[in-house]
Protein backbone atom coordinates (compact mmCIF):
# COMPACT_ATOMS: atom_id res chain seq x y z
CA UNK A 1 0.00 0.00 0.00
CA UNK A 2 1.42 3.34 -1.06
CA UNK A 3 0.18 6.41 0.78
CA UNK A 4 0.99 10.03 -0.03
CA UNK A 5 3.00 11.96 2.55
CA UNK A 6 0.21 14.58 2.72
CA UNK A 7 -2.41 13.53 5.28
CA UNK A 8 -5.79 12.84 3.67
CA UNK A 9 -7.71 14.78 6.33
CA UNK A 10 -5.20 17.67 6.34
CA UNK A 11 -5.06 17.14 10.11
CA UNK A 12 -2.20 17.20 12.61
CA UNK A 13 -2.67 15.81 16.12
CA UNK A 14 -0.57 16.65 19.18
CA UNK A 15 -1.06 14.14 21.96
CA UNK A 16 0.60 12.27 24.78
CA UNK A 17 3.05 9.41 24.32
CA UNK A 18 1.04 7.33 26.83
CA UNK A 19 0.98 3.72 25.56
CA UNK A 20 -2.67 3.36 26.59
CA UNK A 21 -3.79 5.79 23.89
CA UNK A 22 -4.60 4.44 20.43
CA UNK A 23 -4.69 7.76 18.58
CA UNK A 24 -6.19 6.32 15.41
CA UNK A 25 -9.06 4.59 17.23
CA UNK A 26 -9.59 7.56 19.57
CA UNK A 27 -10.11 9.97 16.65
CA UNK A 28 -11.57 7.43 14.21
CA UNK A 29 -8.60 7.80 11.84
CA UNK A 30 -6.98 5.49 9.32
CA UNK A 31 -3.31 5.26 8.44
CA UNK A 32 -2.53 8.21 6.18
CA UNK A 33 -5.26 10.48 7.57
CA UNK A 34 -3.17 12.69 9.89
CA UNK A 35 0.23 13.61 11.19
CA UNK A 36 0.54 12.50 14.81
CA UNK A 37 3.04 14.20 17.12
CA UNK A 38 3.47 12.59 20.53
CA UNK A 39 5.43 13.61 23.60
CA UNK A 40 5.13 13.47 27.39
CA UNK A 41 1.81 15.08 28.24
CA UNK A 42 1.01 16.05 24.66
CA UNK A 43 2.40 19.50 25.43
CA UNK A 44 3.19 22.17 22.86
CA UNK A 45 6.93 22.73 22.79
CA UNK A 46 9.29 24.47 20.40
CA UNK A 47 9.86 21.16 18.60
CA UNK A 48 6.11 20.53 18.28
CA UNK A 49 5.71 23.96 16.67
CA UNK A 50 8.64 23.17 14.34
CA UNK A 51 6.95 19.94 13.25
CA UNK A 52 3.57 21.62 12.79
CA UNK A 53 5.09 24.51 10.82
CA UNK A 54 6.67 22.02 8.40
CA UNK A 55 3.48 19.96 8.27
CA UNK A 56 1.48 23.01 7.24
CA UNK A 57 4.05 24.62 4.93
CA UNK A 58 5.07 21.50 3.01
CA UNK A 59 2.48 18.78 3.58
CA UNK A 60 -0.85 20.59 3.43
CA UNK A 61 -2.25 20.29 6.95
CA UNK A 62 -4.58 23.08 8.03
CA UNK A 63 -6.22 21.74 11.21
CA UNK A 64 -4.65 20.88 14.58
CA UNK A 65 -6.11 18.90 17.45
CA UNK A 66 -4.38 19.04 20.83
CA UNK A 67 -5.47 16.02 22.86
CA UNK A 68 -4.58 15.54 26.52
CA UNK A 69 -5.98 12.72 28.65
CA UNK A 70 -7.10 11.78 32.13
CA UNK A 71 -4.72 9.79 34.28
CA UNK A 72 -1.61 11.34 32.72
CA UNK A 73 1.69 10.76 34.54
CA UNK A 74 2.53 14.42 33.85
CA UNK A 75 -0.33 15.48 36.15
CA UNK A 76 1.72 16.53 39.15
CA UNK A 77 1.92 19.77 41.08
CA UNK A 78 5.14 21.13 39.60
CA UNK A 79 7.97 20.96 37.11
CA UNK A 80 10.33 20.71 40.09
CA UNK A 81 8.80 17.38 41.09
CA UNK A 82 9.28 15.96 37.60
CA UNK A 83 12.79 17.38 37.26
CA UNK A 84 13.77 15.85 40.59
CA UNK A 85 12.54 12.46 39.38
CA UNK A 86 14.75 12.76 36.30
CA UNK A 87 17.68 13.85 38.48
CA UNK A 88 17.25 10.80 40.72
CA UNK A 89 17.01 8.43 37.75
CA UNK A 90 19.75 9.91 35.55
CA UNK A 91 21.85 11.87 38.05
CA UNK A 92 21.41 14.99 35.92
CA UNK A 93 19.03 17.88 36.46
CA UNK A 94 17.29 18.76 33.18
CA UNK A 95 17.77 22.34 31.94
CA UNK A 96 14.46 22.30 30.04
CA UNK A 97 10.91 22.83 31.25
CA UNK A 98 9.12 19.63 32.20
CA UNK A 99 5.65 21.11 31.55
CA UNK A 100 3.83 19.50 34.45
CA UNK A 101 0.05 19.41 34.22
CA UNK A 102 -1.64 20.66 37.39
CA UNK A 103 -5.03 21.03 35.64
CA UNK A 104 -5.80 19.22 32.37
CA UNK A 105 -8.19 21.84 31.01
CA UNK A 106 -5.87 24.75 31.79
CA UNK A 107 -2.94 22.92 30.17
CA UNK A 108 -5.03 22.31 27.03
CA UNK A 109 -6.04 25.98 26.92
CA UNK A 110 -2.40 27.05 27.28
CA UNK A 111 -1.27 24.71 24.49
CA UNK A 112 -4.06 25.80 22.14
CA UNK A 113 -3.24 29.46 22.85
CA UNK A 114 0.47 28.85 22.13
CA UNK A 115 -0.44 27.42 18.72
CA UNK A 116 -2.92 30.15 17.89
CA UNK A 117 -0.28 32.77 18.73
CA UNK A 118 2.62 31.16 16.86
CA UNK A 119 3.80 33.25 13.91
CA UNK A 120 5.25 30.09 12.32
CA UNK A 121 1.90 28.43 11.68
CA UNK A 122 0.07 29.37 8.50
CA UNK A 123 -3.25 27.97 9.74
CA UNK A 124 -4.08 28.98 13.31
CA UNK A 125 -7.84 29.31 13.02
CA UNK A 126 -8.59 25.59 13.19
CA UNK A 127 -6.86 24.63 16.44
CA UNK A 128 -9.01 22.64 18.87
CA UNK A 129 -8.30 21.29 22.33
CA UNK A 130 -9.75 17.99 23.54
CA UNK A 131 -9.64 15.93 26.73
CA UNK A 132 -9.71 12.15 26.31
CA UNK A 133 -11.12 10.13 29.21
CA UNK A 134 -9.14 6.89 29.44
CA UNK A 135 -11.92 5.15 31.38
CA UNK A 136 -14.86 5.94 29.09
CA UNK A 137 -13.17 6.69 25.77
CA UNK A 138 -15.08 10.00 25.71
CA UNK A 139 -13.57 13.05 23.99
CA UNK A 140 -14.62 16.44 25.35
CA UNK A 141 -13.79 19.71 23.67
CA UNK A 142 -12.08 22.27 25.91
CA UNK A 143 -12.86 25.81 24.90
CA UNK A 144 -11.19 29.07 25.85
CA UNK A 145 -12.68 30.80 28.87
Residue 9: per-residue pLDDT: 98
Output the pLDDT for position 144. 83
Runs of H (alpha helix) within the chain:
23-26, 46-59, 79-90, 104-117
Average pLDDT over residues 110-117: 98
* Contact between residue 91 and residue 42 where contact means Cβ atoms under 8 Å apart: no
Domain ranges within the chain, ordered by starting residue: 11-142
Residues 141/27, Cβ–Cβ less than 8 Å: no
Mean pLDDT score across all residues of the chain: 97
Query: 11-142: which CATH topology?
Result: Beta-carbonic Anhydrase; Chain A (3.40.1050)
| pTM, rounded to two decimals | 0.95
Per-residue pLDDT tens for 4-34? 999 999 999 999 999 999 999 999 999 999 9
* Other CB atoms within 10 A of residue 132 CB: 25
Amino acid sequence: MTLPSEPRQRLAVVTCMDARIDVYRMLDLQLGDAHVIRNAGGRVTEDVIRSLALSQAFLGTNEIKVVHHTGCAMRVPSDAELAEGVRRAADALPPFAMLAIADEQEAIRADVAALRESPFLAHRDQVRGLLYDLETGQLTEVTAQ
